[in-house]
Amino acid sequence: MTNTKGRGPGGGTRGGGGRKPRGDSGRGGTRGLTQRVKTAKGRKLSSTRWIERQLNDPYVHKARAAGYRSRAAYKLIEIDERYPILKRGQTVVDLGAAPGGWSQVAAQRIGATDGAPVVAIDILPMDPLPGVRILHQDFFEESAPEALIEALGGRRPDVVLSDLAPETTGHRATDHLRIVNLVEMAAEFARATLAPGGTFLAKVYQGGTEGEILTALRRDFAQVRHVKPPASRPESPETYVLATGFRGTG
């Protein structure tokens, strides 16, 4: 199962369905008119709508202007501004990191160096980033957790980030199970590796963190909340679960 963060319409559903794209809402964009794209012969309507959203999305333009690799960078920025979780000198693991927007933000905010790095993992290719150690590996491989800790120099991470998203099938029940599995795997890694007091932030979808997952997080962390940053499109079912104050494994 691969990460689809920052990918186009061929890399999995990003949410949005059939809503028409809107013009700039004034949040950092420069466009006042909505651009529409004609559906080319042989191209799916969903692909055309994705292109339209990109053309008219103020966060896409902000990300390009600021040099971020994806609009997703602003989701982490907005979450961190509301609930400061990234502090200088920390160590951070970014699961499903490609194309690298979250790793960029994390590296900037912790002042990443060789001694306090960001370690990013993804099965997809990812170009180098200052202060970031990149593992081109599937997070679900048995050796991945050990490789991540080794890349941190044996230190436990202070923050585990997960913007992992599954390839979707269009079958709601199947997609729900895939999403739950991703969150469970990421949460299990966080509980096994986080330093005491650490933070776990993961993408979920509506209905994706029910029952046992939330119960386990509330047992192991001082506070668990759901967050939907403004950069997350209103029509998207995604939200984020933020667990802070890891109690440790005892």
Contact 240, 227 (CB under 8 A): yes
- Alpha carbons 92 and 152: distance in angstroms, whole number: 9
Give the 3-state secondary structure of residue 218.
Answer: helix
Binding residues for S-adenosyl-L-methionine: 100, 102, 122, 138, 163
- CA dist., res. 133 & res. 27, Å (int): 32
**Residue written as tokens 């979450």?**
79
**Active-site residue, 62 included:** no
How far is residue 183's CA from residue 146's CA, in Å, rounded to a whole number?
A: 19
- Annotation: binding site: 100, 102, 122, 138, 163
| Length of the chain, in residues | 250
Tokens encoding 50: 């994705």
Catalytic residue among 5, 62, 75, 203: 203
List of long-range contacts for 37-44, beta carbons under 8 Å, 24+ apart = 44/9
Q: What is the set of active-site residues?
A: 203
